[in-house]
């Protein structure tokens, strides 16, 4: 395996790991924390968080994994032994559907709906209703993203282990 292929696999693992870590951190800290807020605080916090996460560092990891996973799978498919290709292909598929697809077709529409909600002009009843429309669907979708990103990361690690095993000297 060439140095460039090793670096590609490492970059793929890092970007996938960053996304799995981000999703995990949200699941075990951000989501439980904001759940404790009153309705107006919850909506205000989610509006702010959804705006803040749209930044170059997030996009580099989010789209980086989407680009690197299939590229890495293709590179390893073309290797003479093809070791690790299946894991990487599966990781690319899981990430594309379970993280990217769920985000684009699930979480982002909910985020846009919440962002358009006029919190300052809304009544307490409207705020409570908006939270009910948003919170559980968003959390359920986020759980899918978290599990999917974790599975994708495990698959990348398995590909790395499979490749590493072939690089060890024979102990016989």
Asked if residue 112 is part of any domain, the answer here is: yes
- Using an 8 Å Cβ cutoff, are 150 and 20 in contact? yes
Q: Is residue 10 part of a domain?
A: yes
Q: How many domains does the chain have?
A: 1
What are the tens digits of pLDDT across the range 46-89? 999 999 999 999 999 999 999 999 999 999 999 878 788 999 99
Q: Does any domain span residue 160?
A: yes
172 lies in some domain: no
The verdict on residue 66 lying in a domain is: yes
What is the residue-averaged pLDDT of the chain? 94
Does any domain span residue 65?
yes
Whether 54 maps to a domain, the answer reads yes
Domain range spanning residue 41? 3-166
Tell me the pLDDT tens digit for each residue of 84-110. 899 999 999 999 999 999 999 999 999
Q: Between the CA of residue 69 and those of 63, 74, 118, 160, what are the distances in Å?
A: 10, 9, 39, 13
Query: Is 171 inside any structural domain?
Result: no
Distances 32 to 26, 42, 127, 129 between C-alpha atoms, Å: 8, 11, 19, 20
Give the pTM.
Answer: 0.91
């Amino acid at each position: 395996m060439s140095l460039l292929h090793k670096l590609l696999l490492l970059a793929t693992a890092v970007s996938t790991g960053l996304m799995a870590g981000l999703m995990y951190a949200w699941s075990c800290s951000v989501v439980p924390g904001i759940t404790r807020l009153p309705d107006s605080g919850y909506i205000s916090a989610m509006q702010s968080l959804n705006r803040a996460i749209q930044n170059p560092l997030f996009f580099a990891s989010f789209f980086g994994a989407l680009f690197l996973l299939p590229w890495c799978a293709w590179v390893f498919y073309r290797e003479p032994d093809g070791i690790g290709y299946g894991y990487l292909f599966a990781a690319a598929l899981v990430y594309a559907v379970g993280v990217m697809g769920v985000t684009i077709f699930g979480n982002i529409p909910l985020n846009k709906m919440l962002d358009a909600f006029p919190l300052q002009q809304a009544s307490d009843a409207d705020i409570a209703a908006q939270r009910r429309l948003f919170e559980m669907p968003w959390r359920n979708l986020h759980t899918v993203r978290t599990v999917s990103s974790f599975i994708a990361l495990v698959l990348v690690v398995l590909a790395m282990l499979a490749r590493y095993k072939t690089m060890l000297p024979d102990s016989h």
